[in-house]
Structures are given as C-alpha cells and as structure tokens.
C-alpha cells in the first residue's frame, strides 16, 4: 500500500490539470469513512438549522401585502391548499346506535356531526349547542389521542378542569370539536397487503407528502371549513375563537395564523423552538418550514388578533406503536411533554410583536387550564365576560365504545381515498406542467426544459450552496489487480464535509491518453467494495471491476445512505430547511465531477453514471441535475415512482417499509421518473431490469418507460433510450448495459471480455 496526498488548485472555479497520483503526505481518512461522512453531514445540517433562525427576519416585511403573502406561503408548506367545498354542509350523524342528540343536557346538547371539507372527504366530531343565547362560535381541538367525547366531558379520560369544550359551552359558546387522526395504527394498512405500525397520522402523512399535501394541512382545512360554516349566509355573526391542546394546539396555531376570521386563539401544550423538528414524529415534518417560520413567526400572523399561549405539558409520546408481527415500518420520533425552548420562542414573538398593535400573553399552568382561568382569558379575548357559573358535568355518552373507532376508521379511509384521488390524477397535472417543453429540436428541448431542471433542483431536491472547501484531495492505494490499480479518495466539499469513493485506474493508460469514466453507484447501506473488488460476490457482480478490466476508468462513490436510521435523520434535518438528502448528494457529486474532469487521464466529456437500487434512484436524480454526466443507466430501481411511494394495495409500496426517507414533498405534481428522464434527455438513458426484481412489477416499469421512449422518439433520438430486460432479480446483469456504454462512450474495447 502507498500512502499519498495531492492537491488541486481552484481559481475562479476552473481546476488546473492535476499531476498523477504520487506519494506525499499521510492519509487522514477515518477507519469508517462512511460513518465519518454521515456524521459530518449531520454537523453541517445542525449548523444550517441553527443559522436559519437568524436568517428568517431577512425574508419578512411587516406590511399588509407581505403578511398576506406569508399566509399563502404557510398554507403551501403545510399542504393546506385543497379546494374546500363551499358552502359547507354540516349534518347530524345518527343511526341505531347514535341518538341525535347524543346527550340532551339541560344546558347543553351534544350532537355527533360531520361537515364537508374536500370533494369526497368529510370531517367528523361533536357539536356542543348551548340552550339559550349563543354568545360565540368556538372550535375546540383536542390532542390527537384525546377524543371529542373526552374533551366534552361525556367520556372518561380527562379531569373536569381539562374538559374545555364542556366549560366553553357552559359559558354560552357553540363549540365544534373536530376529531384528529390519532396515534394508533389499527387502520394503517390494507387487507390486500398487511397492516403496519405506522400511526394513522404517519400513514396519511407519507402518501400526502408526495402529493404536496400534509396531514397537518388537511386538519387545518377541517378547521377552516368549520369557520366557513360558522360564517354561512343567514347566520347571526358572532365572534369566532379557537382553542387547542397538544396536537390540537399545533392545528389551532396554524389555523388561526391562516384564517383572519378567527378573532381569538388559545394555544395550550404546544409552543416552542422547532429547530429539533427532525426528532419529533415524522408526521410533523414540514418541507421548508424553518426557512421562513418558527412558532414565533407563525404566531405573529395571528397578531393583532387575540392570542394566548399557555405553557403546560403536552403529550408525551416515546415513539411509534409496537411493531406489527415483529416488523416495525414506522419512522422514529418522539414528543416530550415539556415544550423545548418555549420561553425563548415566546421572547422572539414579543420582539416581533413590538411593531404590531397587540401583545400576546403567555401563562404558566400545570394542567390544560388553571382552574378555569384559561377559559376566562379566552372569553375576554372574544370581548365576553365569563359571568356564568361553572357548568355542571354532562351525562355520559350512551353509545357503544365501538362508535369512536368506527369514526376513526371513516376518517382514515376518507383522507386516504382523497389523497389517492390526488395521486391518480397527478399524471394529468404533470402533463400540463410539462406542456411548455418544446420537442421541435434537441436545442429547443434543452432550452425549454432548463426551467424544469431548476425547479427540480430548487423545489424538490433543495439547492445547497456550492462547494467552498479548498480542493485538497487525499488518496490511498488500496487495490493492485492485474489490470488496474485502486485508490480510496477523499474530496472536500464544505469545511468539515467531504465526498469519498474508490478510483480504479487501468494499468495500460498511456501518457496523455484520456479515457471514459463510469461512475458506479452502490445501493442502500452499500459501500464501493462489492463494486470494485472482484473477490466480493454480490448482486453488483463487481461490475466496476469488470469495467476497469475492459479499460474504463471507474469511480465508485460512497453515498451517505448508510447507517440505518442515522442517515435517514439527515433527510429529517434537511426537509424543514427546504432541502433533502439528495440535495446534499448533488453537491458531493458536483464536486467529484470537478475533480474527475481535472484529472489528466479523464475525458471530461465522457463521464457516465451507472447505479443499482438506491444507486438507481441516484441515476434518476443526479444526471437530471448534473449535465456533466454524459449518460445514465438506472438499474434495479426504475418504475412508476409516485405509485411506488403511495400505493396502498400492492406489496411493492414504500407505505409498507421503513423507508420514510423516500418521500419528496410535492414530487407527484411535477415529476415522476419519466420526467426525470426527460431532464436527462438528449443524453443517452438506459433502464436495466430483472423480471424477478421485487422493486416493482414489470407493468409499472414498462408503463413509465414508454413515456421516456416517447420523449426520445419525438426528439429523433430513439436509439439513445433503451430498456434492457433479463431473467433475474435485483442485480447488475451487465450484458446490454455494457454494450450501451461501449456504444455511447465510443469505447469498442468495452464489448470485449478481458
């Protein structure tokens, strides 16, 4: 083994030609470079997250049009963008086991109701109708694991002072109590496949996220639809308020921020710093939130309307439900009862509010409300006097216990059906979005699709800053095979962050000769070794070594999707910044390409990409952005990606696995794999597919590839798009793909077995 180090000079982003690898100074790579890479990226994202707080003010202006624009932006990131039905229809829910009203109290009637939100989807809950004068309309949102019946005091589970809906009804308020999706997993799955331990919230979150929607947005829109009903034509106008605790506090905060008809908001058990959002349950993951919004910025959209933030314990959720059948599919994440950084976040809100005409109030309490003081403050915020005696307990719910589970099943299936309708029709919206692409010529195509490339990078993957570290590349010889020598490589990207991989150089390289490069990318939890070491037997069939034997220069990068949940937490940290794991990988590969193109033995116009599995996902995304990759081969991954992520009826779906990192916010509305391939065009593109590959059925692959072939045929370059099918499974087959490389890289020797 030879220990070497070499440096490249960067000047105005143009790299000088590098000298051949030679021994200089000691190698500085850690024992486990993959783990070191993942941890370095964690530190980088932690710094970016901390810095996001100070950067938010640069994006805010406090004039009315700017504030209205921020409300629209908040609705977008929350996915609260559906076409709500108007006028809202509210109906009583009755039946053999559901009397109307449920509890015909002397002072308050409790009625099971449902109301329209989106086409085909209705919210459900309870309506508490006081006898006599109705002084205000209130929406009371309990925590996700608290039923409306408990919040209304007609079912056990809450202390009397926590039965906020009952107390407000006793003060003459009409109270509507929505049912939130809870954190159990009873209905998260399908009888056609199996059931999972995803909470109902995560089950809907995953499929909605891909469609640019969110379980938070759905429930915020349930509240806004309730406000629509309160404001219906012919109704006496009364002040409207909202109160929420725990998950209900989250929904109440955001609903009040978006809807200026809500005059008073009481947020309890939810207000704090969101820089730790990545560690909370994944159903709270909101793409791009922290770029513009913390809880303080969201709350500032309520001002100068009334706002009371009560500091009391929220839900304490240690993790997802128990595994189903010993298999856990749910994402990690927990909630702690004490809100992290509540005092500091409230101080930020006070600073924001100084220029506004209202001051928020924050109260300390050990319970949901402090002996009725929370109710008094809330009523005062609605310009009402809390002048009625404390309400008496209501009668118990006479319905069977199964009624609330049946309601939860309807809500889960209703949100699921609505979201699946969005997925089914997303292809139409993608077609409309791409209708401006011009296939009249290759030049017209490249020009007209550039804006789609920028949108894919900016909006879907997330654009991180360009590499800024000095190009001091380290190497270490680790292979000496009959036809090639191999080096471990470490390439700086940002201070403390690097890319790494293994470079194979054929031994018969001649001075001054420039050869094609094939970048060979490993899959999930992989490393370069099975690709480049002919002694390692695996699904890769050491295809990098095979290519090096055929005279190609080969580079096998170490991508950071390794380390189980630890690498997936990179996705969680990147998403609230409006970025993704692949956004990081793009910059790593961009830097790697800069280095490869600088090497004297590399032909910079003949650098190809060939990846398996997660490397196939890379083959769809990286060349779509990085045009220095002259062609791309996607092996053992290509399919109807949007369907793969969201389908409820097939075993192939990521809804039934732990890969929560696969979801990309709003991808379905603009990009599927055919559209990513369209960004690769006019460069050659191949799909390598084993008939028995469990990634997806052949039908999904064929359907999506037909669109790719159509694009290439319209451009007059149909010979540059190929689908290579073989009898086999999830593996590199190499026959058709090696011929594809030899032809398009102009390397006839690549057809010859060594």
Average pLDDT of the segment spanning 647-669: 97
| Under 8 Å between Cβ of 584 and 41 | yes
- Is 348 domain-assigned? yes
Q: What is the pLDDT of residue 9?
A: 26
Q: Is the pLDDT of residue 12 over 60?
A: no
Rounded to an integer, what distance in angstroms lies between the CA atom of residue 277 and that of residue 729? 39
Mean pLDDT calculated for residue range 177-195: 97
Instruction: For residues 446 and 395, state if they share a domain.
Output: no
CA dist., res. 108 & res. 672, Å (int): 52
Looking at the predicted structure, is the pLDDT value of residue 7 above 50? Answer: no
Q: How confident is the model at residue 393 (pLDDT cuts 50, 70, 90)?
A: confident
> Whole-angstrom Cα distance, residue 282 to residue 295?
18
Give pLDDT, residue 30.
Answer: 53
Residue 149 maps to a domain: yes
The answer to whether position 265 is within a domain reads yes
Token code pair at residue 379: 């009523």
Q: In terms of domains, do 389 and 461 share one?
A: no
Pairing of strands 136-141, 108-118: unpaired
Say how far apart CA 184 and CA 283 lie, in whole Å: 13
Structural tokens at position 538: 């695996």
Q: How many domains does the structure of the chain reveal?
A: 2
Same structural domain, 64 and 128:
yes
Residue from 446, 374, 413, 356 nearest 140 by CA = 374
Give yes or no for residue 228 having a pLDDT over 50.
yes
Q: Over range 481-495, report the average pLDDT.
A: 98
Same domain, residue pair 123 and 258: yes
Whether 111 contacts 247, CB under 8 Å: no
Same domain, 358 and 459: no
Q: Which residue has the higher pLDDT, 1 or 40?
A: 40
pLDDT of 368 higher than 90: no
CA distances from 698 to 350, 490, 646 (A): 58, 39, 18
Is residue 446 in some structural domain?
Answer: yes
In this prediction, residue 364 carries a pLDDT of 54
What is the CATH number for 662? 3.40.50.1820
Nearest CA to 721 out of 733, 735, 704, 698 is that of 704
243 - beta bridge partners? 140, 266
Question: Is the domain of 163 the same as that of 236?
Answer: yes
* 8 A C-beta contact, residue 176 and residue 127: yes
User: What is the C-alpha to C-alpha distance for residues 662 and 561, in angstroms, rounded to an integer?
Assistant: 11
In a domain, 261, yes or no: yes
Question: What pLDDT does residue 519 have?
Answer: 98
So what's the pLDDT on residue 3?
Answer: 29
Percentage of residues of the chain with pLDDT beyond 90: 85
Is pLDDT of 11 > 50? no
The length of the chain, given as a count of residues: 754
Q: Is residue 296 part of a domain?
A: yes
Write down the pLDDT at residue 283.
Answer: 98
Tell me the C-alpha distance between 321 and 199, whole Å.
Answer: 7
Answer whether residue 365 shows pLDDT above 60. no
Per-residue model confidence (pLDDT) at position 752: 86
**CA dist., res. 101 & res. 109, Å (int):** 6
Q: How far apart are CA 241 and CA 307, in angstroms?
A: 10
Residues 347 and 442 in one domain: no
Residues 442 and 364 reside in one and the same domain: no
Looking at residue 662, what is its pLDDT?
A: 97
Domain boundary among 345, 376, 399: 399
Q: What pLDDT band is residue 110 in, cutting at 50, 70 and 90? A: very high
**In the structure encoding, which two tokens stand for residue 469, read together?**
């570290």
- What is the structure's pLDDT at 19? 43
Over range 396-415, report the average pLDDT: 95
Least confident of 21-30, 196-205, 522-531, 688-697: 21-30
Q: Among 348, 382, 399, which residue terminates a domain?
A: 399
Answer yes or no: do 344 and 463 share one domain.
no
Dihedral over Cα of 595, 597, 602, 608: its sign: positive
Confirm whether 295 is domain-assigned.
yes
Residue 22 belongs to some domain of the structure: no
3-state secondary structure of 139: strand
Q: Give percent of the chain with pLDDT exceeding 70.
A: 94
Query: How sure is the predictor about 668, in pLDDT bands with cuts at 50, 70 and 90?
Result: very high
pLDDT, position 1? 28
Instruction: Looking at the structure, tell me whether residues 336 and 463 fall in a common domain.
Output: no
| Domain assignment of residue 629, given as a range | 438-468+514-751
Does a cis peptide bond (omega within 30 degrees of 0) precede residue 101? yes
What does the pLDDT look like over 623-635, one tens digit per residue?
999 999 999 999 9
In terms of domains, do 358 and 449 share one?
Answer: no
Q: Whose CA is closest to 323, among 185, 141, 431, 463?
A: 185
Q: Contacts for 5-14 with beta carbons within 8 Å, 24 or more apart?
A: 5/472, 5/474, 5/475, 6/473, 6/474, 6/475, 7/470, 7/471, 7/472, 7/473, 8/471, 8/472, 8/473, 8/595, 8/598, 9/471, 10/470, 10/471, 13/594
Identify whether residues 365 and 296 lie together within a single domain. Answer: yes
Distance (Å, whole) CA 461 – CA 583: 5
Q: What is the pLDDT of residues 306-337, one digit of tens each?
A: 999 998 999 999 999 999 888 899 999 999 99
């Amino acid at each position: 083994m030879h220990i070497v180090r070499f440096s490249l000079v960067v000047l105005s982003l143009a790299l000088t030609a590098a000298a051949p690898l030679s021994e200089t100074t000691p190698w500085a790579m850690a024992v486990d470079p993959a783990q070191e890479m993942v941890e370095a990226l964690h530190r980088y994202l932690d710094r970016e997250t901390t810095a996001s707080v100070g950067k938010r003010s640069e994006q805010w202006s406090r004039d009315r049009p700017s504030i209205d624009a921020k409300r629209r932006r908040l609705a977008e990131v929350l996915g609260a963008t559906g076409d709500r039905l108007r006028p809202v229809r509210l109906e009583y829910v009755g039946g053999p086991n559901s009397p109307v009203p449920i509890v015909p109290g002397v002072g308050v009637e409790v009625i099971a109701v449902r109301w329209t939100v989106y086409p085909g989807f209705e919210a459900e809950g309870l309506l508490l109708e006081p006898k006599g004068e109705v002084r205000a309309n209130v929406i009371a949102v309990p925590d996700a694991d608290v039923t409306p019946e408990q919040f209304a005091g007609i079912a056990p589970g809450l202390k009397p002072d926590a039965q906020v809906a009952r107390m407000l009804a006793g003060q003459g308020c009409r109270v509507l109590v929505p049912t939130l999706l809870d954190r159990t997993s009873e209905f998260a799955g399908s009888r056609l496949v199996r059931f999972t331990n995803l909470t109902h919230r995560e089950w809907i979150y995953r499929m909605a996220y891909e469609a640019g929607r969110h379980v938070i947005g759905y429930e915020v829109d349930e509240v806004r639809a309730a406000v629509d009903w309160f404001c219906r034509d012919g109704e006496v106008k009364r002040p409207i308020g909202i109160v929420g605790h725990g998950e209900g506090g989250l929904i109440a905060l955001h609903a009040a921020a978006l809807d200026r008809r809500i005059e008073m908001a009481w947020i309890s058990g939810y207000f704090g710093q969101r820089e730790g959002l990545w560690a909370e349950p994944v159903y709270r993951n909101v793409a791009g939130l922290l770029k513009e919004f913390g809880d303080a910025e969201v709350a500032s959209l309520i001002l100068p309307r009334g706002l009371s933030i009560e500091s009391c314990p929220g839900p304490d959720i240690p993790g997802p439900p128990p595994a189903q059948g010993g298999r856990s599919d749910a994402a990690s994440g927990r909630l702690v009862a004490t809100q992290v950084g509540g005092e500091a976040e409230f101080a930020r809100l006070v600073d924001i509010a100084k220029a506004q005409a209202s001051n928020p109030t924050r109260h300390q309490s050990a319970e949901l409300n402090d002996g009725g003081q929370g109710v008094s403050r809330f009523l005062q915020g609605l310009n009402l006097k809390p002048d009625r005696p404390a309400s008496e307990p209501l009668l118990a719910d006479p319905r069977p216990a199964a009624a609330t589970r049946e309601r939860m099943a309807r809500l889960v299936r209703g949100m699921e059906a609505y979201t699946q309708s969005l997925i089914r029709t997303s292809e139409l919206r993608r077609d409309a979005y791409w209708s401006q692409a011009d296939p009249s010529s290759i030049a017209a195509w490249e020009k007209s699709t550039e804006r789609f490339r920028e949108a894919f990078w900016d909006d879907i993957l997330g654009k991180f800053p360009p590499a800024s570290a000095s190009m001091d590349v380290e190497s270490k010889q680790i292979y000496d095979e009959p036809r090639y020598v191999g080096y471990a490589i470490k390439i700086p990207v940002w201070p403390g962050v690097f890319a790494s991989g293994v470079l194979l150089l054929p031994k018969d390289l001649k001075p001054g000769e420039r050869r094609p490069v094939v970048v060979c990318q490993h899959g999930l939890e992989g490393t370069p070794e099975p690709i480049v070491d002919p002694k390692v037997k695996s699904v890769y069939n050491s295809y990098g070594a095979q290519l090096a034997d055929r005279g190609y220069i080969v580079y096998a990068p170490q991508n950071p999707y390794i380390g189980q949940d630890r690498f997936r937490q990179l996705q969680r940290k990147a998403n609230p910044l409006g970025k993704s794991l692949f956004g990081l990988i793009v910059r790593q590969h961009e830097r790697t390409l800069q280095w490869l193109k600088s090497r004297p033995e590399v032909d910079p116009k003949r650098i190809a990409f060939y990846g398996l599995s997660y490397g196939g996902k890379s083959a769809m995304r990286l060349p779509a952005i990085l045009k220095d990759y002259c062609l791309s081969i996607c092996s053992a991954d290509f399919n109807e990606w949007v369907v793969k992520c969201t389908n409820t009826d097939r075993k192939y779906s990521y809804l039934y696995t732990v890969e929560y990192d696969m979801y990309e916010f709003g991808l379905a509305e603009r990009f599927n794999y055919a559209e990513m391939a369209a960004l690769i065009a006019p460069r050659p593109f191949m799909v390598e597919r084993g008939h028995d590959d469990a990634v997806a059925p052949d039908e999904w692959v064929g359907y999506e590839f037909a669109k790719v072939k159509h694009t290439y045929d319209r451009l007059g370059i149909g010979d540059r798009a190929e689908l290579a099918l073989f009898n086999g499974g999830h593996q590199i087959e190499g026959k058709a793909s090696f011929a594809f490389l030899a032809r398009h890289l102009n390397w006839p020797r690549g057809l010859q077995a060594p």
